């Protein structure tokens, strides 16, 4: 990711679910870095090689992921327009911890060549024959993918194609070309939360014509970069965009809503995704032969007890948090999950409203959205215990009250600096829920990772996290990207490389986990 300190809800976990306590992992073998953790994963896994390692499919797509605002810097250079995060972090008083911004960040705009070299250092070989899609290179040859996002306001400063910025386009062309020269596949996110401020001033995602803005931007990117980019993600975590941006107010644009704006923004984001996918399918796919999907975030929800009420609560949590966006796209029937429609309508009526706060889908909108996913990206970091029992809808509408699920934690599970907890079967349970619910879509795990409380070069807990996480993944899904290649300048540190933010050159230093990840990729096994 990048280099700014955001509030603790920066990723996707509502504040009520967090804890500041770090619980240590079980001990590991010094030589392998895994030891008892691998054995713990193997106890609940099915396919272990003769040497005790779990092997990944030969075409497994290893990679890392970042986002433009969080790494690029150069916030007002070379014709870039202001985006909603630029405006948000510059407010007085600052809404951001320590008043940090992404103005300079990791300076990846200036030092992108160094960052590609870091990717290369994780295992790629120059002589590998590379094909963008499908991946055919030998499994031990390279980090196969780099997921990054395009800054909408860097290429289109006012958000529209009429304002196209040649210098912004040139930057992404250079990055894409360099990645391909190094045999690394670009996986490009069109929207990672940074709407151009010029469009926000017209109403942003609450405006009914916002999907048309996004479609035009997407077509611009397909035209400029689609001859080389074969994996596109329309939106990253629209759940976070809607909930944190239009209800909790701790993300840009900082709207503190009451159970209405959150659903309006989400509805427009869904339509925006669908219009971009339809545009690619109708105008670009036959020539460019790429794939377009969406990335959604979700925790693993487990019943707190064996009671039917808690089992139902866990299922409701999945349907509200993941199904909100996945069901309209990937289900056979389309539309929002029935439990969402029923609960929000009932709560709206109890609150004296004449109509549901959840927008309805007419047949045209339902059919526009349904089926618009070549793959589903999953971001996941956490497991929560779901508790049944009624939650009073209250007079103040909110997403949380509509969902009506209380969450607790298991005090015995290891946790990281964000309070997120490791449960060995979490990934398996999430992916099985998705596959059972949505007829086995193609799945990419587009983010997973571990947060340390500070910069730790000998980051053994991160290695331990990957030991368990990767061990459980070998027979479950197609692709995996670790978040992220660089640590961002926050109070909680992710990343395989540390960045010295006191150094104008932003020196990168390899952590122990980078070497571990390199070995996993080389052997295609854990």
- Greater model confidence, 420 or 28: 420
pLDDT of 471 reads 63
Note if 50 is an active site residue: no
Give residue-wise pLDDT tens across range 92-108. Answer: 999 998 898 999 988 99
**CA 419 to CA 410: how far, in whole Å?**
11
Give residue-wise pLDDT tens across range 346-358. Answer: 999 999 999 999 9
Q: Give the active site residue among 82, 200, 215, 237.
A: 237
pLDDT of 65 reads 87
Cross-sheet strand order for the sheet of 300-303: 300-303, 383-387, 406-408
Split at pLDDT 50, 70, 90, the class of 59 is: confident
**CA 328 to CA 99: how far, in whole Å?**
38
pLDDT of 19 reads 41
Instruction: Give me the sign of the Cα torsion angle 313, 316, 320, 323.
Output: positive
Split at pLDDT 50, 70, 90, the class of 396 is: confident
What tokens does 417 get?
Answer: 């600096």
Q: Which range is least confidently modeled, 14-18, 429-433, 491-495, 498-502?
A: 14-18
User: CB of 441 within 8 A of CB of 407?
Assistant: no
Statement: residue 131 has pLDDT above 50: no
pLDDT of 381 reads 85
Note if 237 is an active site residue: yes
Element of type H or E holding 22: none
Q: Would strands 508-510 and 497-499 be described as parallel, antiparallel, or unpaired?
A: antiparallel
User: CB of 183 within 8 A of CB of 128?
Assistant: yes
User: CB of 45 within 8 A of CB of 472?
Assistant: yes
Q: Give the active site residue among 82, 200, 447, 484.
A: 447
Give residue-wise pLDDT tens across range 326-340. Answer: 999 999 999 999 999
The domains located in the chain, with CATH, are 8-523 (3.20.20.80)
User: CB of 376 within 8 A of CB of 296?
Assistant: yes
Strands (E), 272-333: 291-297, 300-303
Residue for token pair 């926050």: 490
Q: How many CB atoms lie within 10 A of CB 505?
A: 10
Split at pLDDT 50, 70, 90, the class of 523 is: confident
């Amino acid at each position: 990711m990048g280099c700014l300190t955001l509030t603790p809800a920066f990723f996707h976990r509502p504040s009520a679910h967090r804890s500041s306590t770090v619980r240590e992992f079980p001990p590991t073998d010094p030589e392998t870095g895994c030891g008892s953790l691998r054995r713990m994963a193997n106890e609940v896994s099915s396919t272990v090689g003769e040497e005790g390692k779990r092997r990944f499919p030969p075409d497994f797509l290893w990679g890392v992921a970042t986002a433009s605002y969080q790494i690029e810097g150069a916030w007002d250079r070379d014709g870039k327009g202001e985006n909603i995060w630029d405006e948000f972090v510059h407010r007085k008083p600052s809404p951001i911890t320590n008043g940090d911004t992404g103005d300079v960040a990791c300076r990846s705009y200036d030092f992108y060549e160094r960052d590609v070299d870091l990717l290369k250092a994780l295992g790629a070989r120059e002589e590998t024959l590379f094909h963008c899609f499908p991946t055919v290179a030998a499994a031990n040859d390279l980090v196969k993918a780099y997921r990054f996002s395009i800054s909408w306001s860097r290429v289109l400063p006012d958000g529209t194609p009429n304002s196209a910025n040649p210098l912004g386009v040139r930057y992404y062309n250079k990055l894409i070309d360099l990645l391909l020269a190094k045999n690394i596949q670009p996986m490009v996110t069109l929207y990672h939360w940074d709407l151009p401020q010029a469009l926000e001033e017209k109403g942003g995602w609450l405006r009914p014509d916002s999907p048309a803005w996004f479609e035009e931007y997407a077509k611009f990117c397909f035209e400029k970069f689609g001859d080389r980019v074969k994996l596109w993600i329309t939106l990253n975590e629209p759940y976070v965009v809607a909930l944190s941006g239009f209800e909790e107010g701790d993300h840009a644009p900082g709207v503190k809503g009451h159970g209405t704006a959150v659903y309006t923004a989400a509805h427009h984001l869904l339509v925006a995704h669908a219009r971009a996918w339809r545009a690619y399918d109708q105008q670009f796919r036959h020539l460019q032969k790429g794939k377009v999907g969406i990335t959604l975030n979700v925790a693993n929800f487990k019943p707190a007890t064996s009671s039917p009420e808690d089992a139902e609560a866990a299922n409701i949590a999945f349907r509200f948090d993941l199904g909100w966006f996945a069901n309209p796209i990937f289900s056979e029937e389309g539309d929002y999950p029935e439990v969402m429609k029923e609960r929000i309508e009932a709560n709206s009526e109890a609150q004296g409203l004449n109509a549901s706060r959840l927008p309805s889908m007419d047949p045209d909108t339902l059919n526009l959205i349904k089926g618009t996913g070549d793959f589903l990206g999953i971001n996941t970091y956490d497991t929560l215990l779901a508790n049944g029992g009624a939650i009073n809808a209250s007079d103040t509408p909110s997403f949380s009250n509509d969902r009506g699920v209380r969450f607790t934690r298991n005090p015995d599970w290891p946790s990281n600096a964000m309070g997120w907890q490791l449960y060995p079967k979490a990934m398996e349970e999430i992916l099985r829920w998705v596959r059972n619910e949505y007829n086995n879509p193609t799945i990419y795990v587009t983010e997973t990772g571990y947060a340390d409380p500070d910069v730790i070069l000998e980051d053994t807990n991160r290695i331990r996290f990957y030991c368990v996480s990767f061990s459980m993944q070998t027979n479950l899904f197609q692709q995996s990207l670790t978040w992220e290649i660089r640590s961002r300048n926050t109070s909680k540190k992710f990343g395989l490389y540390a960045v010295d933010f006191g150094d104008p050159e932003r020196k990168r230093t390899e952590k122990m986990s980078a070497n571990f990840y390199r070995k996993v990729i080389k052997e295609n096994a854990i």
